[in-house]
Amino acid sequence: MKTNLHPEYQKVVYMDVNSGFKFISGSTKTSNETIQWEDGNTYPLFKVEVTSDTHPFYTGRQKFADKGGRAERFKNKYNLN
């Protein structure tokens, strides 16, 4: 088997920049920023815009714009209901 073929898999910390929520996961990505985690170890830090902490689907704040289908809109437009 060839050596140095696959990137190094390591634990990293993802931080939601909107809420400050942090979680640890595994990744092959590398980062220049690091953070000390609760276990005392230092891990690479990745800042992300959206996580399950702020995504509308997971927080229950999702808005549904239910306009109906084409046929329903046509019928409503010409009062054919």
The string of pLDDT tens digits covering residues 51-81 is 888 876 766 766 655 566 778 878 888 888 6
Tell me which DSSP letter residue 78 carries: T
Say how far apart CA 17 and CA 5 lie, in whole Å. Answer: 33
Per-residue pLDDT at 27: 95
Say how far apart CA 44 and CA 10 lie, in whole Å. Answer: 9
* Total-model pTM: 0.66
Q: Is the pLDDT of residue 20 over 80?
A: yes
Instruction: List phi, psi (to 5°) of 25.
Output: -150, 180
